[in-house]
Amino acid sequence: MEKLYLNRKFIILGLFLFTGIIFIIRLFYIQVMAENYILSANNNVLRYITQYPARGLIYDRNGKLLVYNEAAYDMMVIPREVKAMDTSEFCRLLGITVNHFRERLTQARRYSSYKPSVFESQINRENFGALQEKMFMFHGFFVQPRTLRSYSYPAAAHMLGYIGEASPSIIAQSPYYKASDYIGISGIEKSYETELRGRKGMKIRVVDVHNRDMGSFQEGHYDTISLPGRDLWSSIDVDLQILGEELMRNKKGSIVAIEPSSGEVLCLVSSPSYDPNLLVGRIRNHNFSLLSADSINIPLFNRALMATYPPGSTFKTVNALVGLQEGVITASTRFGCPGGFALGNGHVVGCHDHAGPLDLEESIQHSCNTYYCRVFKSILEKDGFYATDKDFNIWRNHILSFGLGKRIGLDLPSELSGNIPSSAYYDKYYGKNRWRSLTVISLAIGQGEVLVTPVQLANMTTVIANRGYYIIPHVIKGVGQPDSVNRTLMEKHFCTVDPGYFDVVVDGMEKVVLAGTATNARLDSISICAKTGTAQNPHGDNHSIFIAFAPKDNPKIAISVIVENAGWGASWAAPIASLMIEQYLKGEVKRSELKERMMNGNLIKP
Amino acid sequence: MRREYGIFHRIDWVMVFLYLALVLFGWINIYAAVYDESQPSIFDLSQRYGKQMVWIAAALLLAIVTLAIDPKFFSQFAWLIYSGLIGVLILVIFIGRDISGARSWLHIGSVAIQPAEFAKMATALVVAKYLSKMDLNLKKVQTWMKATILILFPALLILLQRDMGSALVFLAFILVFYRFGMSGLVLIALVAMPVIGILALLINKLILIGILFAGAVFFYFMTQRKFRHLMIVLVIFLGSVGYVFSVDYAVNHILQPHQRERINVLIGKTSDLKGAGYNVNQSLIAIGSGQILGKGFLHGTQTKYNFVPEQSTDFIFCTVGEEWGFLGSIVLIVLYLILFIRILTVAERQRSKFCRVYGYSVASILFFHFAINIGMTLGLMPVIGIPLPFLSYGGSSLWAFTILLFIFIRQDAYRLELV
C-alpha cells in the first residue's frame, strides 16, 4: 500500500536540491556577476572627508598683502543627536529667529537625520566667539571651520575678482569640484584658479550604521594629503592703484599703467568700483544683487578690459608712425592747416587754432586734424586713388601690430577685443570699391569705427615707449615666489614700424607736455611724453583721453587714462595721468592741490 | 553495558558531524557579526558569542541526554509531550513577555525560553504517532483533515503570540503528509497559491484570468473529458478567479500599510530602501560585497558595523556571505543539502513507520527554515523572522533543533529493534 508513494521521496528530494540550486544561482548573481553591491557596501561604511587646503595669498609688487584668508565657521547639525535645549538662547547667539531655527532643522532632518548638514553657514568671528563658550549646551550642533577671502585694501576689486560656490554646470564639467566647493569667478581668482586653489586632500574613514567613526580605512593607505594653494605676486603697485581709484572717484572711466620693459601691469583702475570685501561670506549674495542692480554706475563692469572707446587724437601717434613706415611722410613733411580738412562734399573735418604749417613733431604737439587727414589720405592712396582696399589692409595690419583690434591676451578673464574695422566691413557697408580714403577719413583722428579698450590703449603707449615692441601685459609676476612667472610671457612682440621712426613721434609727444595741448601735465624733473585725445561719442559729452609714458629715455611707466564725458583730454585725463606718474616715479604726490581738485571732481550726473 | 557500548557504534555519525560543523560555523559567525574590538575573547560571557558558547554546551548536553532516553519513550509519550507543549503555548499567550512585537517568550528565572521552537518537535512526534496508526485509511480525506488539525492547532496558538514566522513553519508538515499519501493536489495548490497571488498583484487581472482559463482548458483536454472532470476543472478555475480578486482586495484594503509595503517591496513593485526594503537591501549589499572569496574572517564591514539588522540571529547568513564569499556560501548550502538528504535516506531505511514519518518531519522542518531564512536574506522570500537552524544566535532554537534531530538519531540507532 505504502510503496505506492515511494516515488514521492524523489519529488521531495528534488525540491530540496532545486531550492539549493536556486540559492547558488542567486548567490552567483549577486556575489560574482553584480558589481554594484561592493559599491553600495563602500557607500555604507566609507566616509570621504575632504581636506580643504588654504587658498593662495596675493601680494602686490612691493610685497604688500592684498588678499588673505580669514577663518569663518559653519554651524553644522546632526539632527538625531539634537536634544532638548535652550533654543531661544541659541537663536540669540546665532542671530536668527526661532522660526528660522525650526525651518533649518526640518530641512536638515529631511536631508538625513544622522549625517551632518550645514545649519547656518559662515558665522563671523564675533558671533562664533560668543557661541564657542556655550557650544556644550547644544547637543547635535558643532562648528566646522572654513575660510573666507579677505582684502587688506578696499581696492583693485575688478582685478582681484571674487570667489563663490561652484555652480552645477562647473561641477558637471570638472570632476575636481563638488557642491559647496569654492571657485574663482572673476579676475585673478578666476584666471589663476588652479594655482590658488591647491589640491584637495581626502581622508577615508570607516563608520558604523550610526555614523560613528570606527577608524581610518586600511590604515590610511588610500588617504591623500592636501596641497596648499600657491601664493601669487601681482605686478600691481597697490599705492598707485589706490591713488588711481581715488582720483577717479565720482567719475566713470579707467586708468591702466604698464611697465614698458616687462609688460607688468602697475595699476588697473575701473571706476566706479566697489569694496571687494562686500562680496565675501554671507553678505555676498545681498551685496551682489545690489551692485548688479546699479544700472547707472555699473560697478561690477570692468571698464579697463571691457569698455571700448574711440581713441580720439591719441591715435594720431600711430598713424604718424604708419605714415613714416609707408614713406608717405618724413619727419620734416609740413602741411598747412586752413582750420580744417575739406572732404569735398561740403563737409569739413574741423581743426582748432594753431600756427602753421606744421611739421610732424608740431602736428603731434598741437594735435592738428588736418595734418592727419592728409597723412591718412596719403597712406590709403599710396598705390593710386583706386587701390584703397589694398592700402587700407596694409594700414590695418600696421595698426593690429600695435596690439589693437584683438585681445592682447593678458592674464585676466573677460577681455574684449575692441575694433579695428576691416575692408570687408566697409565693402559690406558701402559696397565693394564704393569707398575711398575720404569715406573713412575719421579713422585718421581716431574716430569712426575704431574702438579700443583702456588696456589696449596703455599697451599701444608701451609700444611707443619701447620704440617698437610690447610684451603681453600681465598682472601676475610670480607664482609660489616673487618674480617666477613663465618667461615665455616675456617675449617681445614687435610692431611693423621700424624702431628708427619712433624718435620723431616721441619728441612730438614730449612737446605735448612741454608746450602743446597738455602743459598742465608737466612734472618738474621728469620728462613726460604724452598725447591728448578728445573722443566724440554718441553717449554724451566727449571722453577725456590721455596717454603718456615717462621718463622719455628708459621709460618706467606707460599709462592710459580715460574719463568718460569729461571734455578735453587735457581737462581731466592729463592731470590724472601726471599725478599717477608722479606717484609711481617719486613715491608720493607733492601737488596736493591738483590732487584734491581731481579727486573732488564729480562728473557723474545724478 | 552492551547498550552503552552499542549506541556509540550505532548512531549515525554523518548527521552528528554535520550538526557539529554547522553549530561551530554558526558560533564563529556570530562572533564575527557582533565582534567588538574591546571584547575580543570569543569566550566572553557578556557578549553574544560567549553566550552562544554556553547555549552550545547546553545543547550538547541535551543531545547526550536525548541519546540516553529509551527510544520507545518518544512514540509512547508523543501525545503527552504534544499536550504539554500546547498547554505551555496557551500559557505564553497570557503570561509571556513581549519582545519586539511578539509575545512568544517565557521567562524561567533568568533564562528566556521560546516554547514555539519546541512545539515543532512535539508536533513532529504526534504527527508520526498519528500517521503510524495501523488502521489508518490513507485514502480518506478525513484522515488528512485530522492530521492537518494536529498541525494547525499549535500553529494558530503561535499565531496568537503574533509570531507569524514560527507559525508558518508548520506548513512544512504538508511535505510529510504528501510523502505518506496525501493528494498531490494539495501540494500543487500550496505552490500555485502564492504564485497566482503574486501575479494577481503584478499583472493585469484580466490577462491573468485569461492565462488561468487557458490552463483550465488545457487540463480538461488532458483528462478523459468526462462531465465529472469538467466540473472539477470548472470549480478550480472559478476558485482561482475568486482567489485573484480576493488577494487584490486583501492587499489593498485589509492589510496594514506597512504590510502592504513589505509585499510591494518583495514582488519588486516598489523599492523603499529606507523603509520596508531596508533590511533586504542591506542584506544583499552585505552578501553581494563578499564577492567570490569573501572579505575574510572578521573583515566584514556591513555586518560588523550593524548595517544589517538582526545580523546574529535571522540575518546570520549575511555574515557568511560577506566574510566567506561565494565559495563559503556554497559550502554552507551544500552542507545543509547533505544533511537533508542524509536525513531522508536514513528515514527511508527505518522499519518503523513512526520513525519514517518523524524523519521526514525533521527534514521538512529544517528545510523550511533553511529555505525561508536564506531565501529572505537573498531577497527571494518575504522578510519572515525565523532562525537559520544551528547557525542563528539563540538558546531556544538551538536546543529545539538539537532535540528534534537527536531524537531521530536516537531512534535510528535502534531501528532494528523498533518496529
The pair phi, psi for residue B21, each rounded to 5°, is -60, -45
B51, B174: one domain: yes
d(CA A5, CA A115): 61
Write out pLDDT tens, residues A405-436.
999 989 999 899 999 999 999 999 998 888 98
Q: Are residues B199 and B324 in the same domain?
A: no
Q: Into how many domains does chain A fold? A: 2
B286 & B378 share domain: yes
In this prediction, residue B40 has a pLDDT band, given cuts at 50, 70 and 90, of confident
Residue A371's identity, in one-letter code, is Y
User: What pLDDT does B206 receive?
Assistant: 85
Inter-chain CB proximity A31 and B326 less than 8 Å: yes
Please tell me whether residues B119 and B220 are part of one structural domain: no
Q: What is the mean pLDDT of residues A202-208?
A: 82
Over residues A461-509, the pLDDT tens digits come to 999 999 999 999 999 988 888 877 666 668 899 999 999 999 999 999 9
Q: Which of B291, B341, B344 sits opposite A31 (nearest CB)?
A: B291
Q: Would strands A469-471 and A492-494 be described as parallel, antiparallel, or unpaired?
A: antiparallel
Q: How many domains does chain B have?
A: 2
- Closest by CA position to B352, among listed B76, B128, B179, B80: B128
- In this structure, the answer to whether residues A119 and A262 fall within a common structural domain is no
Amino acid A487: pLDDT: 61
Amino acid at B27: W
Which residue in A5, A40, A45 is closest to B179 by CB distance?
A5
Q: Is the pLDDT of residue A42 over 90?
A: no
Q: Are residues B261 and B248 part of one domain?
A: no
A42 is a domain residue: no
pLDDT at res. A1: 43
Note the pLDDT of residue A61.
Answer: 93
- A332 and A469 housed in the same domain: yes
Q: What is the pLDDT of residue B264?
A: 75
> Domain ends where: A230, A262, A280?
A230
Q: Is residue B418 domain-resident?
A: no
Do A150 and A207 share a structural domain?
yes
Cα pseudo-dihedral A406, A410, A414, A416, rounded to 10: -20
pLDDT at A3 over 60: no
Mean pLDDT of B182-193: 83
Q: Helix (H, G, I), strand (E, B), or coil: what is residue B403?
A: helix
Closest-CA residue to A39 (of B275, B285, B301, B291): B285
Q: Which residues contact B43 (CB under 8 A, 6 or more apart)?
A: B50, B53
pLDDT for res B1? 39
DSSP string covering B312-380: TTTTHHHHHHHHHHHHHHHHHHHHHHHHHHHHHHHHHT-SSHHHHHHHHHHHHHHHHHHHHHHHHHTTS
- The reply to whether A263 and A138 lie within a common domain is no
Q: Give the domain-ending residue among A214, A230, A246.
A: A230
Is the domain of A315 the same as that of A196?
Answer: no
Shared-domain flag, residues B161 and B294: yes
d(CA B51, CA B59): 12
Alpha-carbon distance values, A396 to A94, A423, A454, A506 (Å): 63, 9, 19, 22
CATH number at residue A408: 3.40.710.10
**3-state secondary structure (DSSP) of residue A540:** strand
Contacts of B378 in chain A (CB under 8 A): 23, 26-27, 30
Are B170 and B241 in a shared domain? no
Same domain, B91 and B169: yes
Q: Report if residue B291 sits inside a domain.
A: yes
Assess whether pLDDT exceeds 90 at residue B104: no
CA distances (Å), origin B71, targets A517, B66, B120, B405, B415: 129, 9, 19, 13, 9
The pLDDT assigned to A2 comes to 47
Any domain includes B50: yes
Residue B352 lies in a domain: yes
Looking at the structure, tell me whether residues A151 and A275 fall in a common domain.
no
Same domain, A134 and A197: yes
**CA A306 – CA B317 distance, rounded (Å):** 68
B:263-292 residues touching chain A, CB 8 A cutoff: 282, 284-292
Mean pLDDT, chain A, integer:
89
Is residue B247 located within the same domain as residue B277?
Answer: no
**For residue A36, which residues of chain B lie inside 8 Å, CB to CB?**
288
Rounded Cα–Cα distance for residues B105 and B98 (Å): 7
Residue A150's φ and ψ, nearest 5 degrees, are: -140, 150
**B244 & B373 share domain:** no
DSSP string, B157-221: HHHHTT-HHHHHGGGGHHHHHHHTT--HHHHHHHHHHHHHHHHHHHS-HHHHHHHHHHHHHHHHH
SS3 A335: strand
Instruction: Write the burial class of residue A143 (CB in 10 Å: 0-12 exposed, 13-18 middle, 19+ buried).
Output: middle
What is the dihedral angle through the alpha carbons of B383, B384, B385, B391, rounded to the nearest 10 degrees? -90
Could you say which of B210, B237, B254 is where a domain stops?
B254
Residues 340-359 of B with CB under 8 A from A: 340-341, 344, 348, 353
Provide mean pLDDT across the span A575-599: 93
Give me the pLDDT at residue A154, please: 92
| Spatial contact of B381 and B372, defined as CB atoms under 8 Å apart | yes
Residue ending a domain, among B254, B273, B304, is B254
CA atoms of A10 and B178, how far apart (whole Å)? 12
CB A7 within 8 A of CB B327: no
Query: Are the CB atoms for A324 and A497 separated by under 8 Å?
Result: yes
Q: Supply angle C-alpha B22, B340, B325, rounded to 5.
A: 45
Contact A395, A322 (CB under 8 A): yes
Task: Examine residue A26 and state whether it is found in any structural domain, yes or no.
Answer: no
Q: What is the separation of C-alpha B100 from the centre of its chain, rounded to a whole number of angstroms? A: 20
Range of the domain at B248: 193-254
* Residue A46 pLDDT exceeds 70: yes
Whether A43 is in a domain gets the answer: no
Contacts of A489 (CB under 8 A, 6+ apart): A263, A471, A472, A474
Question: In Å, what is the CA distance from A46 to each residue of A313, A493, B32?
Answer: 68, 55, 19
Residue B419 has a pLDDT of: 61
- Does A225 share its domain with A245? no
Residues A436 and A304 in one domain: yes
CATH number at A104 reads: 3.90.1310.10
Helix (H) or strand (E) holding A470: strand A469-471
Strand stretches in A157-273, DSSP E:
163-165, 182-184, 201-207, 213-216, 232-234, 253-259, 264-271
**Selected residue with higher pLDDT from B163 and B390:** B390
The pLDDT tens digits for A126-174 are 778 888 888 888 888 888 777 788 999 999 999 999 998 888 898 888 8
d(CA B407, CA B409): 6
Any domain includes A9: no
Confidence band, pLDDT 50/70/90 cuts, at residue A606: low
Q: From chain A, pick out residues whose CB is under 8 angstroms from the CB of B364.
A: 12
State how far the Cα of B128 lies from the Cα of A86, in Å rounded to an integer: 68
The share of chain A scoring above pLDDT 70, in percent, equals 98
Summarize pLDDT for B239-296 with one digit per residue, the tens.
888 888 888 888 877 777 777 777 777 776 666 666 667 888 888 999 999 988 988 8
Q: Tell me, yes or no, whether A548 and A466 share the same domain.
A: yes
In terms of DSSP H, where are the helices of A388-490?
388-400, 423-430, 454-465
Together in a domain, A474 and A558: yes
Number of neighbours of residue B160 by Cβ within 10 angstroms: 15
Within a domain: residue B80?
Answer: yes
- CA dist., res. B70 & res. B57, Å (int): 22
**Average confidence (pLDDT) over B33-50:** 82
For residue A166, give every residue at least 6 positions away whose Cβ sits within 8 Å of its Cβ, in sequence order, or none.
A177, A178, A179, A180, A181, A182, A183
Q: Quick one: pLDDT band at residue B65, thresholds 50, 70, 90?
A: very high
Å from A30 to nearest chain B CA? 5
Check: CB of residue A16 under 8 Å from CB of residue B337: yes
Instruction: Calculate mean pLDDT across residues A424-451.
Output: 91
What number of C-beta contacts closer than 8 Å exist between A and B? 119
Q: Is residue A469 part of a domain?
A: yes
B12 Cβ partners below 8 Å, 6+ apart? B342, B346, B409, B412, B413
- Pair (B230, B370) in one structural domain: no
Answer yes or no: are the C-beta atoms of A215 and A205 closer than 8 Å.
Answer: yes
**Do residues A429 and A554 share a domain?**
yes
Nearest to A17 among B292, B337, B360 (CB): B337
Nearest partner of A256 among A567, A523, A545, judged by Cα: A545
DSSP 8-state code for residue A21: H
Q: Which amino acid type is present at position B282?
A: Q
Chain A residues at the B interface, defined by Cβ less than 8 Å, are 1-2, 4-5, 8-9, 11-13, 15-17, 19-20, 22-24, 26-28, 30-32, 34, 36-38, 40-42, 44-45, 206-210, 214
Mean pLDDT rounded to a whole number for chain B: 87
Angle (CA) B91 B95 B96, round 5°: 95
Q: Does B336 touch chain A (CB under 8 A)?
A: yes
Helix, strand counts (H, E) of chain A: 21, 20
Residues in chain A: 606
pLDDT at A542 over 70: yes
Domain range for A220: 49-230
Per-residue pLDDT tens for B277-292? 788 888 899 999 998 8
Distance of alpha carbon A530 from alpha carbon A513, whole angstroms = 7
Q: Give domain status of residue A2, yes or no.
A: no
DSSP character string of A60-79: -TTS-EEEEEEEEEEEEE-G
CB B124 within 8 A of CB B362: yes
Q: Do A31 and B287 touch (CB under 8 A)?
A: yes
Whether A260 has a pLDDT exceeding 90, the answer reads yes
Give the integer Cα–Cα distance in Å for A589 and A592.
Answer: 7
Contacts of A31 in chain B (CB under 8 A): 287-288, 290-292, 321, 325-326, 329
pLDDT band (50, 70, 90) for residue B2: very low
Q: How confident is the model at residue B3 (pLDDT cuts 50, 70, 90)?
A: very low
Show the CA angle centred on residue B43, arms to residues B37 and B45, nearest 5°.
90
* Over residues B183-204, mean pLDDT: 83
Same structural domain, B301 and B324? yes
Query: Does some domain include residue A530?
Result: yes
The closest alpha carbon to B103, from B113, B112, B93, belongs to B93
